[in-house]
Amino acid sequence: MTNWLVLGATYAAYYTARYNLGIVDKAMGDALGFNRTQMGDLKAYGKGAYAVSALVNGPLADRLGGKRTLLYGLIGAFAASMIFGGLAFTPVRGKGLFVLLVAAWMANNYFQSYGALSIVKVNAAWFHFRERGVFSGIFGGMIQSGRMVVWAIGSIAVGLHTPWPWLFIVPGALLLVFYFLARRYVENSPKQAGHADFDTADASSGESETPPRLAEVAKKILTNRVTLTIAAAEFCTGFVRNGTDDWFPRYMQEFHHINLRNPRFLATAIGAPLAAIFGGLAGGWASDRFFQSRRAPVALIAYVGQAGCLLFLGRVHTVSQAGVMIVVNSMFVQCTHGMLTGVASMDFGGKRAAASAAGFFDACQYAAGAVGGIAIGRLVTRFSWGVWPPLLAAFALLGAALMASVWSAKPR
């Protein structure tokens, strides 16, 4: 239990240092003279770095063990967050500052990928295939608390005109605290924690316990139609997830003209992670309870839910209605993300290659985030915010179609 609680809280800390940029987007851009397109490019560079690193760090976590790579990520993200916030206190401005911020944000995202992949790797050894849906939902709820904290506190801080760098320095310091906690309490497997190991009944069942070779991992993932379909679906998830989380604060400020301290914005900022917690729990439970631990049916339903919320978001005119749609959409997005990167990576990668599978899926998701960062800033600048919701909805519908094609898939 201690292993699991510290692991979940550690990744929640990772979230505080990754979901802070969307909240300070407008305030930071205004303070430094960066426009909407430049801030979108900054996000895109970070997502791109995450996507590339996920491909590299997944196999690394499978070989070195999740605990070691989790610690690497914590130290690296701590340093990058401190540098990113500290750049505001240097005399550098203009293009030179933008380049330095891009480098620091890319470094942060590079090390952030260690967190996600390491956690999937550790959890794959601790949970049986038939209980992963439920426990992934519970674990996802713990993780979402990090997003809720940084959005709620960050919104109030920005609304009170707190200097934006502190929204990076404080989360960075929190990562250092969790480095020491994870080092003390997290273990790679039940055996290392003093318990008996067990057969998880996933795609690596019956295989050797030795770390897999890269060629073996690549063959398992890249020759499987189901894993390739999930990867394509996670590209859709990434476009919707990052396209919503990174841009809704600016959307509320520019389209609905409300301050981040506004109670209706705070309700949205707090409600979205809470809804995500419920979505992860409900999706995991439904997958194990009603679909015999198949993940695609639940993901398909969630994709359709995302599309409905986003299309309605494009037609509403009040702040409250927009907030409700963003909150409900967050529930469906987390359901999909949890089912695919969080659970299907363990199912189809198996505990030997879980991190590599998660890295592959996450890389596709964050590649979509990079594309969205570049595209959304430019499209909104040219066509207004009206183009934003239907663009995201189109990717949600594509994800639903992909999940329909693997409706019955389970690991062998």
pLDDT band at 210 (very low <50, low <70, confident <90, very high): low
Checking if the pLDDT of 4 tops 60, the result is: yes
d(CA 201, CA 198): 9
Q: What pLDDT is recorded for position 200?
A: 47
Q: What pLDDT is recorded for position 209?
A: 56
Read off the pLDDT of residues 85-142 as tens digits, 9 standing for 90 and up. Answer: 999 888 888 889 999 999 999 999 999 988 877 777 776 655 544 555 555 656 666 6
Residue 378 in domain: yes
Checking if the pLDDT of 144 tops 90, the result is: no
Q: What pLDDT is recorded for position 203?
A: 44
pLDDT band at 199 (very low <50, low <70, confident <90, very high): very low
To the nearest whole percent, how much of the chain has pLDDT over 70? Answer: 81
**Higher-scoring residue by pLDDT: 314, 213:** 314
Sign of CA dihedral 24, 28, 29, 30: positive
Residue 109 in domain: yes
pLDDT band at 409 (very low <50, low <70, confident <90, very high): low
d(CA 204, CA 132): 15
Burial label for 95, CB within 10 Å (0-12, 13-18, 19+), is exposed
Residue 189 three-state SS: coil
**Higher-scoring residue by pLDDT: 89, 7:** 89
| Residue 369 in tokens | 């985030």
Q: What angle do CA 316, 318, 321 make, to 5 degrees?
A: 65
CATH of the domain at 173: 1.20.1250.20
**Higher-scoring residue by pLDDT: 186, 386:** 386
Residue 89 in domain: yes
Read off the pLDDT of residues 277-321 as tens digits, 9 standing for 90 and up. Answer: 888 888 877 887 787 777 888 899 999 999 999 999 999 889 999
Strands (DSSP E) along 119-175, which ranges? none
Residue 287 in domain: yes
CA distances from 329 to 9, 20, 162, 245 (A): 24, 20, 29, 10
CA distances from 60 to 5, 55, 369 (A): 24, 9, 23
- Domain extent, residue 38, equals 2-186+199-404
Count CB neighbours of 279 within 10 A: 29
What's the gap between Cα 110 and its chain centre?
13
Q: At what angle do helices 95-126 and 2-16 cross, to 10 degrees?
A: 160
Beta carbons of 403 and 299 less than 8 angstroms apart: yes
Residue 193 in domain: no
d(CA 286, CA 406): 17
Beta carbons of 338 and 280 less than 8 angstroms apart: yes
**Higher-scoring residue by pLDDT: 288, 346:** 288
Residue 346 in domain: yes
Burial label for 247, CB within 10 Å (0-12, 13-18, 19+), is buried
Beta carbons of 407 and 300 less than 8 angstroms apart: yes
**Higher-scoring residue by pLDDT: 15, 127:** 15
| Residue 159 in tokens | 């609304």
Residue 411 in domain: no
Q: What pLDDT is recorded for position 202?
A: 43
pLDDT band at 148 (very low <50, low <70, confident <90, very high): confident
Single-letter code of the amino acid located at 276: A
**Higher-scoring residue by pLDDT: 280, 40:** 40
Read off the pLDDT of residues 159-169 as tens digits, 9 standing for 90 and up. Answer: 778 888 999 99
Mean pLDDT lowest among 51-65, 81-95, 255-269, 392-406: 51-65
Q: How many CA atoms lie within 13 A of 216 on its CB side?
A: 16
| Residue 213 in tokens | 């070779």
pLDDT band at 205 (very low <50, low <70, confident <90, very high): very low
Beta carbons of 133 and 411 less than 8 angstroms apart: no
As for how many domains the chain has, the answer is: 1
Mean residue pLDDT across the chain: 82
Residue (of 138, 147, 80) closest to 110 by Cα position: 80
Residue 295 in domain: yes
